[in-house]
Structure 1
């Protein structure tokens, strides 16, 4: 089942048939290389990637040998599951061979809470730009947007003037994975000519 051709076809399928974005397809490729390495070393004759015993060993390999955290393990298992779906779709394995119901359930690990700045720290940051210059006013607007509506740096970088709707006081944001959303923003109260 380590057949390179099948893996390439699966990766093409994820991007060109399912319509996964290139970054998602790249993540699948990375995950499948990890899985391939595991199989090459521990299961060279493996013919069914859904075998529960193999998955238990794979999880141990991810956690112990690779020192992957819970979210990385979950993602790699999700990729493997998508690969199994593909193998069933292409009739390489049958639904009767699918052992995913026997896979161990991974416990959710509590996510680390983000560190929150105190109000005085935020104010210190917001007063840093020199608002007597155009770049300083831009920087102040960027910092205010990041703070007030929680934008990612990538969302700020992709922001275009045409995305700002001054009258409605809202901004069209291009989010992760190309998703769009509108946000109301206090920054729009600023003079748009400054």
Structure 2
């Protein structure tokens, strides 16, 4: 990556941070996808971003397929680069967007991955609730499942965003949109225990001072990658098969609400989806969920 390319990438990152309010995780994904394309440009002897043609993009797409990447990964990379070139065109750095004419490969139809209720109960039962970090970890797990919030929304929570009197959380979502989400008694208890017995002690011990709810072992604000690492370690200690990630808890939240009779509009509001179509996929998930539950427990299934 030459100096000019690096300057364009830094401009785009600033745009993602300030104007699009993207999470650090999302920005990191964009950055890696664009850097990969810069390597491709170097191999093709393309020195400037405006030298890239639609034909070059098709060659790049062929290379991605030859690497046998998942269609979802390829689609994401093309989408990242399309956004990058749209930004360059807006800034008059390039005249046109060569990625605008390339179609994103059709994705395989996959249902969201989620936990069954008994799986979650096993994870909760295996949690350490005695240590300071254990109390924090349980509070994170309880809150993610209780509210269905995204990991980026979780790390942005400040102390003033929680109203314990009515068990409600102010969530700062995508595009700076805010919504209120209720949480139940288990999350309420876990949060109070963490705040009273862990958060202040970790911050006092390390002489830190900030408004964020969740802190790392040094008392600083917890990052998105920090949350993912915590969940993975909790999963390992529970000896539960499969993988865990924040979005799997979000999927579980939506699936369990709909399976137990919640209406879709309410779930849409709780998830912070702009469109109902984003929520409708969970109707397919709940059908699978109910069928498996029936097959497991009906005496004549």
Deviation of 1:10 after TM superposition, in Å, equals 1.7
- Describe the shift of the 1:112–1:6 C-alpha distance in structure 2 as closer, same or farther (beyond 3 A): farther
- Describe the shift of the 1:101–1:149 C-alpha distance in structure 2 as closer, same or farther (beyond 3 A): closer
Aligned equivalent of 2:75: 74
Query: 1:27 pairs with 26, 29, 33, which one?
Result: 29
**Paired residue total:** 185
Separation (CA, whole Å) in 2 of partners of 1:17 and 1:58: 25
Query: 2:51 pairs with 48, 52, 70, which one?
Result: 48
More helix, by proportion: 2
The reply to whether residue 102 of structure 1 matches residue 101 of structure 2 is: yes
Task: Identify unmatched segments of 5+ residues in structure 1.
Answer: none
Deviation of 1:34 after TM superposition, in Å, equals 0.8
Aligned equivalent of 2:39: 37
- Describe the shift of the 1:59–1:172 C-alpha distance in structure 2 as closer, same or farther (beyond 3 A): same
Task: Identify unmatched segments of 5+ residues in structure 2.
Answer: 194-301
Question: How does 1:2-151 map onto structure 2 within 5 Å?
Answer: 4-17=2-15, 19=18, 21=22, 23=24, 24-41=26-43, 43-45=44-46, 48-49=51-52, 51-65=53-67, 67-95=68-96, 98-117=97-116, 119-128=117-126, 142-151=140-149
Question: How does 1:157-176 map onto structure 2 within 5 Å?
Answer: 159-173=157-171
- Describe the shift of the 1:134–1:37 C-alpha distance in structure 2 as closer, same or farther (beyond 3 A): closer
Larger Rg: 1
Report Cα offsets for 1:13-50 as digits up to 9, x if no partner.
22335625573444333222211222222x2147532x
- Describe the shift of the 1:10–1:145 C-alpha distance in structure 2 as closer, same or farther (beyond 3 A): same
Q: Secondary structure at the match of 1:102?
A: coil
Q: Secondary structure at the match of 2:112?
A: coil
Q: TM-score scaled to structure 1, two decimals? A: 0.67
Between 1 and 2, higher relative CO (CA 8 Å, sep ≥ 6) is seen in 2
Deviation of 1:141 after TM superposition, in Å, equals 5.1
- Describe the shift of the 1:57–1:182 C-alpha distance in structure 2 as closer, same or farther (beyond 3 A): same
Separation (CA, whole Å) in 2 of partners of 1:153 and 1:101: 31
Q: TM-score scaled to structure 2, two decimals? A: 0.47
| Mapped contact 2:170–2:181 kept (Cα < 8 A) | yes
